[in-house]
Amino acid sequence: MNENTLQYKTLLVLLVLVTLAFIWILLPYYGAVFWAIILGILFAPLQRKLIQRYKWPRNVTSVITLAICVLVAVLPVIIISALLVQEGTALYKAVQNGEIDVASYVTHFKHALPNGVQSLLDRMGMGNLDSLREKVAARAMQGSEALTSQAFSFGQGTLDFIVSFGVMLYLVFFFLRDGPELVRKMRLAVPLAEPQKRRLQLKFTRVVRATVKGNMLVAVSQGALGGLIFWILDIPSALLWAVLMAFLSLLPAVGAGVVWAPVAAYFMLDGEMWRGVVLTLYGVFVIGLVDNVLRPILVGKDTKLPDYLVLISTLGGLAVFGLNGFVIGPLIAALFVSTWSIFVGDRPTVQLPPDLPR
């Protein structure tokens, strides 16, 4: 065996082992590293504009951009999360003390249905409300209890949160300051042709901005609008429902309608027709149109994924990565599609004979 070949293979093995070891030691803070990369990509254009306009050093523009990032993206999430946990704790206490009787709501809703629907439920074996009430009450108790346990675990893991938060901000600063140089070194290390590396870099940046900025802004908009109408109609735990609608809006086959539509139906069946009609019209013409108006503008057609792929990748991301999977899942799916499109795009197109079905 040629000595140069042996040295090269040994170097490759060493490179793989060291890389795996490096990833292994980063796993406890993978969330901080991931969000630092995402925030660095999202706010890099702002830093470039500051440099071009004011000619300030990169250290100064990095600090200013980091401060804007904290004010715009980080602090609102922390405040909303704290308020959500607080409201979830209050909801758990209300359910536990009997102030909110979920079982009675189920019974009232069933009796408010038309007689034909009630007969159909009885024939389908769903007329027995005892087990249904118990299941719904148990689910409500579990959900509110989960929020309470999150508040308790947050208090226990305050030190870990502070460390991860500090690591994220620290990395964001250096990604902003040294981002171009890091990207240049990564491109040199990738054994591909320069045009392919350039296309992959552009695809990755575009997908990150489209997936995170576009989808997250759409979700926040729908959640905020849904929470606003719930607050106006004096529906309890409006903030909790707003966050739930924001999460569900990331799932195209589910959407925020899973939350507001049953509430509107309950109002109509309960005799509060005006509240049900207002919520229905608002949900269809305000919350529903946000996705059709904002998503094409923010996400764009180049990186838009099929709805079924977004649904599967989001659910899979949640199962594998937890809460971060809302972003990581669609991001991996989008990169998968983009990478294969580049790979297939370099191949000649096969023309089918005219007599064969297309």
Q: Give me the domain span that covers residue 77.
A: 30-189
Position 215 confidence tier, pLDDT thresholds 50, 70, 90: confident
Same domain for 156 and 278, yes or no, is no
CA 254 to CA 312: how far, in whole Å?
12
Same domain for 231 and 109, yes or no, is no
Same domain for 184 and 200, yes or no, is no
CA 238 to CA 263: how far, in whole Å?
12
CA 90 to CA 260: how far, in whole Å?
21
Same domain for 174 and 107, yes or no, is yes
Helices 30-54 and 158-189: angle between axes, nearest 10 degrees: 60
Of 130 and 65, more confident: 65
Chain segment 202-213, per-residue pLDDT in tens: 777 777 777 777
Chain segment 226-243, per-residue pLDDT in tens: 989 999 988 877 888 888
Boundary residue ending a domain (173, 189, 205) = 189
CA 118 to CA 246: how far, in whole Å?
33
**In this structure, how many other beta carbons lie within 10 angstroms of the beta carbon of residue 226?**
30
CA 40 to CA 66: how far, in whole Å?
9
pLDDT of residue 125: 55
Same domain for 156 and 138, yes or no, is yes
Q: Is position 47 within any domain?
A: yes
Position 358 confidence tier, pLDDT thresholds 50, 70, 90: very low
Q: Is position 49 within any domain?
A: yes
Chain centre to alpha carbon of residue 300:
17
Q: What tokens were used for 233?
A: 């109609």
Same domain for 117 and 203, yes or no, is no
pLDDT of residue 131: 57
Chain segment 59-74, per-residue pLDDT in tens: 999 999 999 999 988 8
Q: What tokens were used for 319?
A: 């199962």
Looking at the structure of the chain, the number of domains it has is 2
Same domain for 185 and 210, yes or no, is no
Q: Is position 2 within any domain?
A: no
